Structure formats: C-alpha cells, structure tokens
A and B are shown apart, each in its own frame.
Chain A
Amino acid sequence: MAIKPNTAFLASYRIYVAAFFVFLAAPLVAAGMFAFNDSVFPSLPWQGFTLDWFFNDTEPKLGMFHDRRLLRGLYYSFVIASFVSLLSVFVGTCNAFLFVRCKFPAKDFFYIMMVVPLVIPGVILGISILLLASNIANGAEESLSLDLDFLRPGIVLVVLGQFSFITTITSLVIIARLKKFDESMEEAAYNLGASRVRVLRTITLPFLFPAMAAAGIVAFLVSFENFNTTLFLVGSEAPLTITMYDRMVKVGSTPVLNAVSFFLMVGSALLALVSVLVQRDKPQT
C-alpha cells in the first residue's frame, strides 16, 4: 500500500472499481446469457433454460452446430487464424533476433517501422492491401494475360492483411522475452563445443518457446476476432465475424448469435488461460 488514505475515500474507491468491473462484464454476460433462453428473441422475459440454440437441428430454432453457414465461417476463421499465427510467430521470432542480437545502421528507425503497423487503422491496412493486390492482378491480366487469382479478395489476402499488423504484436512479445535471455548460457555451450544450430535448438529456442507459444495464441485470437481489416479483403470464404455481422444486419439479432458468442467467449477464455499458463509454467531463474 502506497498511500494511506482515509477509509471513506478507500471505500468509495473500491465501489468505483467494483462498478467498473460490472460495466466490463455486463455486455458479455448479456451476449452469453441469451444463448440459453428458450425464446426466438434474445430479450427478456426469461422463458426457461434450453440448449436448442446449440444443438437443435430444425428451424425456427436452428442451433449453431447445425447451421451450415456459421460452421463454414468457423472453419474459415480457424484456417485463417492458424496460418496467421504460424506466419506471424515465425517472422516475429526472426524480428526478435534481428532487433535484440544484431547491430545494423538505422536500427531505431527500423524499430519504429516495426511498431507502426499497430497504429495504422485496420480499415486503412485493409484497403491499401486490397488496392495494391487488385492493381497487380489487373496489370498481370492485361499485359501478361496471367490470372493471379490469389490476389483477388479471398483467404490469401485476409491472411496477409491480418498478418501485416499481428506480426508487430508477436514481435513485441518475443522481443521482450529474448531481452531477458542470459547470453552467457549460449557462450557456455559454445565453449563446450556445440555448433550454432545446436545451441539455437537446445538452448535459445527452448528458452523462447513460452513466449512464442503465447504470441501464437494471441495472434490466433486477434485474427479470429478481427473485423476491420478482414472486411475489405474478404472473398466468398467469409470468416465467422463477417458471417455473424451479415446475419446481424440482414436477419437481425437471433439467439443463435448468442450461442456463437458464448462458444467464442469460452474458447478464447480457455486459450487465454493456456497462454498465461505457458508463460508462467517455467520458474524464471
């Protein structure tokens, strides 16, 4: 305790903090709760508990696990998020070695360049990549009559668009960890006659692994929930957030969206827990 304020002040401070957390939880509780309400509208009054919005296979209460379009969205989201997290962890690890271990001119400048994608609005990232890709594709079609299909809106562009800013996040996470690494451990291994590759494989990478895993999970989640950048790059293979948005705008809110929300919240909470555990597991020496 740093400050010793009077008790009345501390009590009202505590109430404020509690109220804040209620505010944080309120919409999430609302979004999750109505997944279990036995009604075709996600609103009060409470009609009783049901799991229909997850498992029922007939209209009008088609559950999410029987809704083809939602399942397809989930599948595309999963594919996209997996690619994004693998790619961004790979490049993030390279960036970590580059910025922690190497000396090169204008390093500060490049470091800022690495951080910049995080502060560019997602919408702008989306349209700028869309424009470049379409122009290249159009150019190739006109002058070389090449059909570069992957440069049209679709999964590849979505992956690239999300990768463009998620890599900054993974880099920052892995850089923070690599900075804590004690280089004398590597030197000891060299002195014992180990090769570079072997030192990297048996000492440095195992040390970095918790950060890489955590960065991968963060990347996966950020990709899964991304909307702004994806919106402009999406083709016919719409990921889940886009499918949900479409449903919300066209059909209006239905409890099946609550079911998806609940499913996603539980899934992300579990993944987030894993990422915390992975990072905490090894006692740091």
Chain B
Amino acid sequence: MMQKDIKRLSLILLFAPFALWIVLLIILPHVGMLFISLREKVAPRVYEFGFSNYVNFFTEPIYWNTLLRTGSMSLLVTVLALLLGFPIAYYIAKIAGNRTRGALFLMCLIPLWVSDLIRAFGWILLLRETGVISSSLQWAGLIDAPIEFLYNDATVIMGLVYTVILFMIVPLVSTLDGMDNAMIEAGYNLGGNGPTVLRRIIIPYAMPGIVSGCIVVFMLTAGSYLTPILLGGKNSSWFTEQIYDQFITRYNWESGAAFGFVLLAFTSLVIWIGLKLSGQTLNSTVARS
C-alpha cells in the first residue's frame, strides 16, 4: 500500500511540471489567441464575437496570396532540402569511413549552432551588389558592372534551404545509420541496379526519417522570419511578415491573432496531408528522432 502511495505521489510530482508547461505556455495561449481572433472591435474597448478577422483575411487577396506564396515556396524549399540533403546523409551514414563520418556529421551541425541572423548576414555580405561574389567576378573580368544577387525569390529559396537543410540531414542520417548494409547488398545480389535498390529498399526504409525531416523543415520554413526579410528585402511577402505587421506596426492584435491561427491551421493541414500520404504518424516520425 505504502509503495503504491509513493508511486502515485511521484507520478503527481513528475506530472505537475509537465502539465504546467503544456497548459500555461502552450494550450492556454493558443486558446486565448483563438478567442481574441474571434472578436471584433465595434468601438474603443468594446468587442463583439464574430468572424470578421477571418472574413477580412479571405476577402483581401493580398493576404491569402501571401499565405499561398509562403506555402508553395516552403514546399519547394522542403523538396530541395530533401533532394540536396539525402545524398549527403547517405554519404555520411553509409559511404564515409568510420573516422570521417563523425567529423562530417559534426561539420553538418556547425551552422546549427550559429544564429539565423549571422547566417543571413554572411549571405548578404557574399551576395549584395558590393559583395564578395560580385566583386570577385568583376575582378576576374567575367562581368563589367556589379550585380545585385539579393532581393529575389531564388536567393530567398537558396537562403532558406541553407538554413533548414541540417534539420533534414540529421534525422536522415540517424535512420540510415540504423539500416543494415546487408539489406542493400541483398538488393544487389538479387539483381537490382542502383536506382532500383534506392527506390525499392533504401527510400522505403528511410521513410520515417524523410517524413520527419520534411515536417520539421516545412514548419521551420513557413514560420521563418529573418531569412526571407533579410535576403528578400521589403517585398519578400512572407506570411510571418504580415503577422508582424498586424501586431507591431498596425497594433491590430485581433487580426494578427487571426493571421497566426490561419498560419497554424495551414501548416498543420499540410503536415496532416503529408502524414496521410506517406502513411506515417507524428509519433513514428518526429518523436522518434
């Protein structure tokens, strides 16, 4: 009996911090945000329940165009990160020798420890009109006048891929690492060629890692703020910029909260579709890595 009481007590004691954290900092704020997004200002300090903030969002093309643009560019970034990152992860997990493997993996992580801000700053120094690349090209005589590489969509996408690709590589390396080389060899022995083995054996095995990487990368991209603004300039039209604008510049918290919810709902929807299409669950992917 005593033993059982102690068990119960320790469960309660351990559950309390968890519950406080999740309820006070995650659930309550989001419920509050939902309430605020559902009220309309009818007069100063007088509010009414209503959907006008959401109606506003859907009737103003610039808002949902920005959201669609953010969403489609984030998808593109996710796909690019997967295509570029998969060979790197495979190299680290399967081809590199034991000693280089750890070093390469650590090198992959280095940019993770460096702030987004510094990374974007580095790209600005490289890519702007007076930047390293432009002046080197001039020095080499390849171009006559300075070129501005910043402030276009291609640069924003490149910068975003750069920022998030580590979050693709890390889960991929850890799934591929757990894969038995014998499986690949068996594929070859049974007469499969490279692409077949890749398609029929390696990719299905790595699926949890792929999905997990894609989820994290998509979320990070869609929610990113610094990279699109610094590399894309004022007209990068990223959705988080709209949210910031509503909150800080216009001081319209009701509509900012509605925008926040739209972003949250949109990204969750995309991820839900992704999970359904790949036949995975949140538990089998993100939680595992």
B-binding residues in A (CB < 8 A): 1-5, 10, 13, 16-17, 20-21, 23-24, 26-31, 34, 41-45, 90-91, 94-95, 97-98, 102, 104, 108, 110-125, 127-132, 135, 160-161, 163-164, 167, 172, 196, 221, 224-225, 227-228, 231-232, 241, 244-245, 248, 253, 257-258, 261, 264-265, 268-269, 271-272, 276
Q: Which of B72-110 contact A (CB under 8 A)?
A: 84, 87-88, 91, 94-95, 104, 106-110
Residues of B within 8 A of A253 (CB): 121, 124-125
Residues of A within 8 A of B36 (CB): 131, 135
Is the pair B115, A43 in contact by a Cβ cutoff of 8 Å?
no
Contact A228:B226 (CB < 8 A) given known A26-B122, A112-B287, A124-B263? yes
Residue B283 at the A interface, CB < 8 A? yes
Q: List 14 A-B contacts (CB under 8 A).
A: A21-B104, A28-B110, A28-B114, A43-B131, A98-B11, A104-B15, A112-B283, A113-B22, A115-B286, A119-B216, A121-B264, A172-B287, A228-B223, A261-B121
How many Å lie between the Cα of A113 and that of B30 in the bound state? Answer: 13
How many Å lie between the Cα of A97 and that of B22 in the bound state? Answer: 17
> Closest residue to A276 on the B side, CB-wise?
B106
Is the pair B29, A128 in contact by a Cβ cutoff of 8 Å?
yes
Is the pair B223, A95 in contact by a Cβ cutoff of 8 Å?
no
How many Å lie between the Cα of A210 and that of B36 in the bound state? Answer: 43
Is the pair B21, A28 in contact by a Cβ cutoff of 8 Å?
no
How many Å lie between the Cα of A245 and that of B25 in the bound state? Answer: 26
> Closest residue to A133 on the B side, CB-wise?
B29
Query: Which of A5, A43, A128, A228 is in CB contact (< 8 Å) with B224?
Result: A228
Residues of B within 8 A of A3 (CB): 94-95, 184, 188, 194, 197
Residues of B within 8 A of A135 (CB): 32, 36
How many whole Å from A109's CB to the nearest CB in chain B? 10
Residue B236 at the A interface, CB < 8 A? no
List 11 additional A-B contacts (Cβ < 8 Å) besides A21-B107, A111-B283, A227-B116: A3-B94, A29-B122, A30-B122, A31-B122, A91-B17, A123-B263, A196-B6, A244-B121, A264-B114, A268-B113, A272-B113
How many Å lie between the Cα of A112 and that of B281 in the bound state? Answer: 10
How many Å lie between the Cα of A267 and that of B6 in the bound state? Answer: 44
Contact A95:B18 (CB < 8 A) given known A115-B287, A228-B225? yes
Interface string of B112-150 (1 = CB under 8 A from A): 011111111111111010111001100000000000000
> Closest residue to A163 on the B side, CB-wise?
B25
Is the pair B95, A257 in contact by a Cβ cutoff of 8 Å?
no
Residues of A within 8 A of B11 (CB): 98, 102, 104
Query: Which of B29, B116, B130, B230 is in CB contact (< 8 Å) with A131?
Result: B29
How many whole Å from B64's CB to the nearest CB in chain A? 17
Interface string of B16-28 (1 = CB under 8 A from A): 0110011001101
Is the pair B125, A34 in contact by a Cβ cutoff of 8 Å?
yes
Q: Describe B's contact surface by its main secondary structure.
A: helix
Is the pair A127, B226 in contact by a Cβ cutoff of 8 Å?
no
Is the pair B18, A98 in contact by a Cβ cutoff of 8 Å?
yes
Tell which of B11, B30, B109, B114 has the most Cβ of chain A within 10 Å: B114
Residue B38 at the A interface, CB < 8 A? no
How many Å lie between the Cα of A228 and that of B227 in the bound state? Answer: 11
Residues of A within 8 A of B271 (CB): 119
Residue B269 at the A interface, CB < 8 A? no
Residue B57 at the A interface, CB < 8 A? no
Residues of B within 8 A of A196 (CB): 6
How many whole Å from B75's CB to the nearest CB in chain A? 15
How many Å lie between the Cα of A122 and that of B21 in the bound state? Answer: 16
Interface string of B183-210 (1 = CB under 8 A from A): 0110010000010010000000000000
> Closest residue to B268 on the A side, CB-wise?
A119
How many Å lie between the Cα of A117 and that of B29 in the bound state? Answer: 12
Residues of A within 8 A of B128 (CB): 43
Is the pair B122, A27 in contact by a Cβ cutoff of 8 Å?
yes
Query: Which of B30, B107, B118 is in CB contact (< 8 Å) with A265?
Result: B118
Is the pair B181, A2 in contact by a Cβ cutoff of 8 Å?
yes
Is the pair A241, B123 in contact by a Cβ cutoff of 8 Å?
no
In the A-B complex, the 8 residue pairs with the closest CB atoms: A121-B223, A27-B122, A225-B115, A128-B29, A31-B122, A268-B113, A164-B25, A98-B14
Is the pair A2, B184 in contact by a Cβ cutoff of 8 Å?
yes
Contact A127:B18 (CB < 8 A) given known A24-B111, A43-B131, A115-B287? no
Interface string of B215-226 (1 = CB under 8 A from A): 110011011111
Is the pair B226, A108 in contact by a Cβ cutoff of 8 Å?
no
Residue B267 at the A interface, CB < 8 A? yes
How many Å lie between the Cα of A4 and that of B194 in the bound state? Answer: 9
Is the pair B223, A122 in contact by a Cβ cutoff of 8 Å?
yes
How many whole Å from A203's CB to the nearest CB in chain B? 16
Is the pair A131, B257 in contact by a Cβ cutoff of 8 Å?
yes
Is the pair B264, A120 in contact by a Cβ cutoff of 8 Å?
yes
> Closest residue to A127 on the B side, CB-wise?
B260
Residues of B within 8 A of A163 (CB): 21, 25
